[in-house]
Every structure is written in structure tokens, then in C-alpha cells.
Chain A
């Protein structure tokens, strides 16, 4: 063998050693936990082998640090280039050393430069304390990862999949992503571990209660999707990216139109009795292409539904009040959920469709103490700032500031459409009659009150009736139930040229 061939062979052996990751018993530990190795995860995420990988030989001089515990590069998802960083939990538990951080920074900068999405495959013990001076405090150290994420936000899609822990500072990786997918039972994110909590604040708590996937997807709202296993998590990521443009100046990719799934008609689904709850998912099913509904934060604040879908092949974001849960009332969490989703769609040019059936923002001392005004303002501000095509569909009632939160006429929707069951008012007939005529009602003999109240409510109903609202120019059109999808699709096709200048200023002082 020539000397060059010998070098080539040695190099191939070295690359194979590094690709294998950590020692076999660490691989066995992964398998026992139902987890895949970083490179197996990438095989599921990407269409084929990565187009390239950078930094394979990082720390090649240290036998126990293959690739310094992270795989970085670019591959294709659905035929389109996507950058990735995948923590290798078999190497020092996926912890971040000096080169790990530098590799992550470089792949972020690559994604930003090439204007392509980035996926963070997270499974890491966090900072490698022994290396802290070389990876924690400095200009191109761990903090820079989050700085980069913030700077890239809204330029290219950023997705985090949590397969395992993401502790302490590393917990901010999902926080700065557009979408966070968590694998049930294995994923975890918390600023301090249960052991640390017991030491520092005296709290005894399990890892799952502290930062488990289910907790984050149902209560904290950090997680957007709870996946049963790793394959499901990765498939969800691929599907999410199919709705997203590669960067903010590109149009979201379309798909072949598909007819909606068969089912009962809208007239059968929507009860005319405004106070009776029903499942808004039925309306979404009639509106969108079959199989295209990709719900975001399904388990968090379910009184508001948010998700991506397609209408005649075109990507849309849907925000819908779900009267089946808490009457569809807006609370602090649902306000945050809506604000976040509207911001996401606006950033990536995805038109928004609002399906309104809202009794308003929740009232009462409990929610005022929680800051319902401040949280609600986030949603109203996000809706106001959204310059993508917006269609406000009044399905049933739309009362009070609920109208503002759902892109009512003052918030520059391209159209306010009303179904025959629509009602718009400051408040519903029951509350309004009581507010205005309480004294008059009380002055009547008790026996005469019910008839008088009924008469007042009927007069009030006539005043907020949808034809009356259309005759005043409040709504742009009244759409028969069976024509809603077609009407929406036709409008979205026309609204595609919408271009609205964004106000010039350094930054809005946003409600947070």
C-alpha cells in the first residue's frame, strides 16, 4: 500500500470511530430508554444522508470526545435544505464543551447565511462544568447560541425537538425556537434539577413534575407538541417544515388541493343557541383540505385552537375559539397562545384565518390578578401587527374585546365574513339587558319581569343581528354555511399579493 493510501485508510478508520459516538454501554443505555442515537435520529429527519457535515473531527485528539458530542451539518427535508445540530448523548451525556458550542454557533450562522431552516435535536446534560471557562462566559460561548437564536428569529424557521434533558441555560434553546416538540417521558427542561431545587429552596419534586414533556405541553406552554416516541416527534418536525418557507422572504410552499374530509355540514355543526358549546374542530374540518390540520399547542389552553392547515393547497394559520372548553372564553394562557401563533404566521408570510365564537375575555378577580388585561393585550397587539392576509370569520357570537383579539374590523382584516349565525356586540343579550335596564326591571312587579326581559332581549338580538350589521357595513359579506370554504379559498388566492408597509421605528413597546 502506498503511503497516501495508508493515510487515506487511517483517516477512514478515524472517521468511522468518531461516527460511532461514545462507548457501547452508553449506546445500550440510550436504547434501554427508548432513545435513538443522534445519527439514527438524523436518518429519520433527513431524506437521505446529510449533504455535508462540519466539525466531524472536532476534538479528534481526545478519544472520549467524538465530534465533541454534537453532529452539525445540512441535509434535505422534503427535498429542501435544512441545517441541523444533533446532540450525541453517548458522548459526555451530550454536554457542551468549547468545540460543541463553536460548532453550534457555526451551523446557526450557516443557516442564517444560506437562509434555510435549522432544527435543534436536543438531548444534553448542559454545560460541561470542567470546560466552563472555555464555553460559558465569553463572546463566542454558550450565551451566543441564544443571542444567535434571537437574531435569527423570524428570518429562518427554528425548530427544537427535545429527546432528553435540556437543563439550566440549555433550556433556553427551546424557548427561542418557533416550534418545540417534546418526547413524552424522556424530554425534560428545567432551569434547576430536582436535586438542586431540594438543596437551594428545599423543594422535593420529581423530574417529571419539574420539567417533564407533558407538564410543558399542558401547563407551562413551553412545549408545542407532545410526541409518543422519537419517530413521531421527528415525523411531526418534517410535517411542520412542509408548511414553512425556507426564510421570511420566500413564499410558503403550496401543495396539491385536497377536498375536505366528508362529514356533517356546517349548518348541522354550529348550534344557533349562542350559549351552547360545540366542537369547533368540526368547522375546521369543513374548511380545510383533508388531513392538512397540524395543531399547535393542542394540550395547552385548549379553549383556543391554533394550527396550520391548507385551503385548496395554500398554507394558512387558523385561530379558532373552542366553546367546548371554558365556553371558548379567552384566558391569560389562551391569549399568550394566540399571540405567539399569530406572530409565527406573520413572520413567515402565512395568511391567518380567524374563526370567531367568543364570549369575550374572562372577567373576575382571579383573572385580573393573573393580568388578563396585560396578556390579552399581547394577543390584540399581535393581531394588529400582523400584515399577512387576515380573514375574520364570525361563526357565532363575538362579544367585547374578543372581537379585537380575533381580528375584528378595526384590526385591518382583509375581510370580515359572517355566517348566518353570527352576532357582534359589546356583550350578549342577557348581560346587556341586565346592564342597561336593571333598575327598570326591578321596578316592575315580579310577575311582569320575565316577559319584559324577554322583549328587551329580542329587541337587542335584532339590533346585533347579522343582516343589520352588514347593512351598517360592519361585516363585508354574509356567507351561507355551505359556501364558506369556497369563499375563503377564492379570497386567499386574491389576497396573496397583499403588501403592507411595516411602520418605521426602532421597536414597538410591546405588551409582554
Chain B
């Protein structure tokens, strides 16, 4: 199991995956916006998306777990 953590504080723009989707390590699974920049969110490990904890428009703090990838 791997936590997807926000690498910086900002607002979640959109997920590119849904719960249940299989993802590869390093795959871009979502985008957030911070400092007016598009910040890609990468999967830290391969697996299946088990949780998406933040929704589009939510503020997330650096280090927050925003999704979980299961084995």
C-alpha cells in the first residue's frame, strides 16, 4: 500500500483515475494547481487506486495523503 501525498500545498484540479483503476509507478494520476502552476500528481507505486481522499477544488496541505494505492 502506498500513500499519495501532496508534494506542495494547493488546490486539487482533477483526478485522471478512478477508484479501482490499475496504475503504474510514476503514472500521472491527477493534477493540482499551486502558485498558478499545473502540478502533476504521480503514483508513488504500481497498484490499484483504493481511495481518492481529496476532490476537485479541495485545498490540500503539503504532505497530506490525498489518495491511496493498494497492492
Enumerate chain A interface residues (CB-CB to B < 8 A). Answer: 275-277, 323, 326-329, 331, 359-360, 362-364, 366-367, 428, 430-431
Residues of B close to A327: CB separation below 8 A: 8, 34-35, 37-39
Q: Give min CB distance, B67 to chain A, whole Å.
A: 18
**Shortest Cβ distance from B59 into A: residue:** A364
Residues in chain A near residue B61, CB distance under 8 A? 366
Q: Known contacts A326-B7, A326-B8, A366-B61; is A360 also within 8 Å of B40 by CB?
A: no
In the complex the two chains form, is A277's CB within 8 Å of B8's CB?
A: no
Q: Which 10 A/B pairs are nearest by Cβ-Cβ distance?
A: A327-B37, A359-B35, A364-B9, A329-B35, A366-B62, A326-B8, A428-B36, A430-B36, A327-B35, A275-B37
Q: Mark B1-36, 1 if CB is under 8 A from A, else 0.
A: 000000111000000000000000000000000111
By a CB distance below 8 angstroms, the chain A residues around B35 are 327, 329, 359-360, 362-363
Nearest CB to that of B63 among chain A residues? Answer: A366
26 pairs from A and B in contact (CB 8 Å cutoff): A275-B37, A276-B38, A277-B37, A277-B38, A277-B40, A323-B37, A326-B7, A326-B39, A327-B35, A327-B39, A329-B8, A329-B35, A329-B37, A331-B8, A359-B36, A359-B37, A362-B9, A362-B35, A363-B35, A366-B61, A366-B63, A367-B9, A367-B62, A428-B36, A430-B36, A431-B36
Chain B positions near chain A (C-beta within 8 angstroms)? 7-9, 34-40, 61-63
Task: Give the nearest-CB partner of B7 in chain A.
Answer: A326
Determine the distance from Cα of A431 to Cα of B33 in the docked complex, in whole angstroms: 13
SS of B interface (majority)? loop
Cross-interface CB contact of B37 among A328, A364, A366, cutoff 8 Å:
A328
Determine if B38 and A275 form an interchain contact, defined as CB atoms under 8 angstroms apart: yes
A253 to B40, CA, bound (A): 41
Closest CB of chain B to A203's CB: distance in Å? 21
**Which of B9, B36, B38, B39 meets A366, CB within 8 Å?**
B9
CA distance A327 to B40 in the complex (A): 9
CA A277 to CA B42, docked complex, whole Å: 14
Contacts of B36 in A (CB 8 A): 275, 359, 428, 430-431
Chain B residues, CB < 8 A from A331? 8
In the complex, how many angstroms separate the beta carbon of B54 from the nearest chain A beta carbon?
16
- A364 surroundings in chain B (CB, below 8 A): 9, 62
Tell me, in angstroms, the Cα distance from A225 to B1 when the chains sit together.
30
CB-defined contacts of A366 to chain B, threshold 8 Å: 9, 61-63
- Separation of A359 and B8 alpha carbons in the complex (Å): 14
Q: For the complex, what is the distance from the CA of A364 to the CA of B10, rounded to whole Å?
A: 9
A370 to chain B, nearest CB (A): 9
Tell me the bound Cα distance from A277 to B39 in angstroms: 8
Which residues of the partner chain A approach B7 to less than 8 Å between Cβ atoms? 326
Most B Cβ at <10 Å: residue of A326, A328, A367: A326
